[in-house]
Amino acid sequence: MPQTPAADAQASTEASFPAAVRDAAVAALIALGLSAPMMGLVPVQSPQGLVLEQRWAPVAIAVAVVFAGRLLLNLTLWRPGRVKRVGYVPPKLEAKLAGLARFLGPLAIAGAVAMPLLPFTERYAIDLGILVLTYVMLGWGLNIVVGLAGLLDLGYVAFYAVGAYSYALLAQYFGLSFWICLPLAGILAAFWGVILGFPVLRLRGDYLAIVTLAFGEIIRIVLLNWYWVTGGPNGISGIPRPSFFGIDFDRGPDGFAATFGLDYSPLHRILFLYYLILALALLTNFVTIRLRRLPIGRAWEALREDEIACRSLGINTVTTKLTAFAIGASFAGFAGSFFATRQGFISPESFVFMESAMILAIVVLGGMGSQFGVAIAAVVMIGGFELFREFSDYRMITFGLVMVLVMIWRPRGLVSSRSPSVFLKEKKAISGSLVQEGHG
């Protein structure tokens, strides 16, 4: 960004045109330096060992894009003298968005309930819906830890893994059914949440993030190497499918279709899975909203804003943090056992750091603490991922870039208003960027 002093600000746009071109040229030169070796020279395997192959077309494109983009930005958004709005969207718009959320919430739920029953919905759409809802649920679960309690957890996928493996192993070794394992998986994940949460209680912000990342990796490595229990990299296959409270979805005389006098259709199970995950996700949402009004929920939010003030006001930060970890983890555990029963096969491959980063991105980009924002982010990101399936090579690079750009554009996420859970007379939404956050 050209930081021209105030005197230059008066200069007209025309006068700054050569400067803009010069600046864009410098940027293009840097882009050339960055891309020429990395994109232009590619070592490829040949009979003589590695030799360099030259590919100058992508370099030229990259340099041209940087030059044009920078020039355009210099002439429009970064024009000297343009009054810059400081970091936040006008509170009015913010409040409007928050108000909209109140109507849109029930509408979205109604849409989600009705979606699979619409005549033109294909099976693919329902499958995609299941996937999106799984991430909505994970996002809401992580939102308790990150959005409400302000504890940055980069190893959330570990609890997802604990849930998935709990169900898979309990079903395999003890023959327990999905409905018994679901609460067990949640409890086990919560238990692990406490175990992992306990040592990191004293850590703050960034350190906490790295240690939780390390824990997530440790759990994955253990799953990968503990062959005789987890099957190592081969994973666990043949995980039992869910039943309709004991009635299987099969063609037999005791199957779901026969019991309810319907024609057998493989779609029944898919529909059931869809409504199951919808119910689980809504349960997560409901519990979170209710918890926010309890003392513990308010303690979480207070902890997020200022840990020292919390302690001086007599809030027990140990139990507050541990409950946040445990409750967030238990929802990941539920989602994990749902994942296991839906896939019928799990392996450590599904629980890599990228998954954690993805869930965290959903929470952060959606707006930490905002249930609605998280749901939108999950739909946009997971749905977007599916839409751009043909460009799958470019998915992750775009994802990384979007994460950076959204942080620069709106560091608080898309829906960043903070609606207070306790208020006098009138409920006012506050823009997140107006809140000074302590170092919790």
Partner 1 sequence: MEYFLQQLINGVTLGSIYGLIAIGYTMVYGIVGMINFAHGDVFMVGAFMALIVYLALVAIGITFVPLALLVVLIVAMALTALYGWTVERIAYRPLRGSFRLAPLISAIGMSIFLQNYVQLAQGARVKPLPPVVPGGHQFGAAEGFVVNISNVQILIVVTTVALMAIFTVIVAKTSLGRAQRACEQDRKMASLLGVDVDRTISLTFVMGAALASVAGLMYLLYYGVVDFYIGFVAGVKAFTAAVLGGIGSLPGAMLGGLLIGLIETFWSAYFSVEYKDVAAFSILAIVLIFLPSGLLGRPEVEKV
Any contact of residue 401 with partner 1 (CB under 8 A)? Answer: yes
Give the residue with the Cβ less far from partner 1, 345 or 399.
399
Does 42 interact with partner 1 (rule: CB under 8 A)?
yes
Write the binding mask 294 to 313 for partner 1: x where contact by CB under 8 A, - elsewhere.
--------------x-----
Among 115, 126, 214, 296, binds partner 1 (CB under 8 A): 214
Give 258's contacts (C-beta < 8 A, 6+ positions apart).
251, 252, 264
- Give the binding range for partner 1 (CB under 8 A) out of 130-138, 283-291, 322-330, 392-400: 392-400
d(CA 311, CA 303): 9
Choosing from 2, 252, 344, 411, the residue that interacts with partner 1 (CB under 8 A) is 411
Name every residue whose Cβ is closer than 8 Å to that of residue 96 and which is 6 or more positions away in sequence. Answer: none
Minimum Å gap between C-beta 392 and partner 1 is 11
Is the separation of the CB atoms in 440 and 393 below 8 Å?
no
If one asks whether residue 349 binds partner 1 (CB under 8 A), the answer comes out as no
Complex with partner 1: residue 273 or 377, whichever CB lies closer: 377
236 and 230 Cβ atoms separated by less than 8 Å: yes
Span near partner 1 by CB under 8 A; candidates 119-127, 246-254, 273-281, 388-396: 388-396
- Residue nearer to partner 1 on the CB measure, 220 or 268: 220
Q: Which is nearer to partner 1, 35 or 337 (CB)?
A: 35
Q: Per rule CB under 8 A, is residue 229 in the interface with partner 1?
A: no
C-beta pairs of 291-294 under 8 Å, 24+ apart in sequence: 291/144, 291/148, 291/327, 292/148, 292/421, 293/421
Which CB, 83 or 408, lies closer to partner 1?
A: 408
Residue 84: CB minimum distance to partner 1, A: 12
Q: Which of 77, 102, 194, 437 binds partner 1 (CB under 8 A)?
A: 437
CA dist 285 → 244, 363, 390 (Å): 23, 13, 33
Residues 145-174 that bind partner 1 (CB under 8 A): 152, 154
Site string for partner 1, 171-210 (x = CB under 8 A): ----------------------------xx-xx-xxx-xx
Tokens 């519990």 appear where?
A: 287
End-to-end CA distance of the chain: 32
Taking the complex as a whole, the smallest distance from the CB of residue 303 to partner 1 amounts, in Å, to 14
* Binding status of residue 73 toward partner 1 by CB under 8 A: no
DSSP state of 344: S
Of the candidates 185, 229, 255, 224, the residue with the CA atom closest to the CA atom of residue 351: 224
Residue with Cβ nearer partner 1 (229 or 401): 401
- The burial of 96, by beta-carbon neighbours within 10 Å (0-12 exposed, 13-18 middle, 19 or more buried), is given as middle
Residues 6+ away with beta carbon under 8 Å from 77: none
Q: Does 77 bind partner 1 (CB under 8 A)?
A: no
Helical residues (DSSP H) of 260-413, grouped into ranges: 267-293, 295-305, 307-312, 317-343, 353-366, 371-387, 392-409
Q: Which residues, at least 6 apart from 97, have a Cβ–Cβ distance to it below 8 Å?
A: 415, 417
Residues in the chain: 440
Closest among 398, 411, 329, 405 to 368, alpha carbons compared: 411
- Using CB under 8 A, pick the residue from 217, 243, 382, 414 that binds partner 1: 217
CB of 408 to partner 1, least distance (A): 5
Nearest approach, Cβ of residue 152 and partner 1 (Å): 6
- Residues in contact with partner 1 by CB under 8 A are 1, 30, 33-35, 37-39, 41-45, 49-52, 58, 87, 152, 154, 199-200, 202-203, 205-207, 209-211, 213-215, 217-218, 221-222, 224-225, 308, 353-354, 357, 360-361, 364, 368, 393-394, 396-397, 399-404, 407-408, 411-412, 437, 439
